[in-house]
Amino acid sequence: MDDVVFKIETSSNLRQWNEDAVILSSTTNEGMQEIIWRDTVPIQDATSRFMRLRILSSE
């Protein structure tokens, strides 16, 4: 999937989005890749947190 870009974004209000999530783990098995992302804001420090996956064409 060289022509696709995956972006994980975080937000506290669903209006402003940031690319500040970090990869917690990444594994590949039988051609499938699993990536687990973590928000950089601790859950106890936030009243609301959201994450979204954006899939973009690299063309």
pLDDT at 48: 94
pLDDT in tens, 22-59: 999 999 999 999 999 999 999 899 899 999 999 999 77
pLDDT at 1: 56
Find the domain containing 23 and state its range. 4-57
Sign, Cα dihedral of 6, 10, 13, 16: negative
As a whole number, mean pLDDT of residues 2-9 equals 90
Query: How many folded domains does the chain comprise?
Result: 1
Helix (H, G, I), strand (E, B) or coil at 35: strand
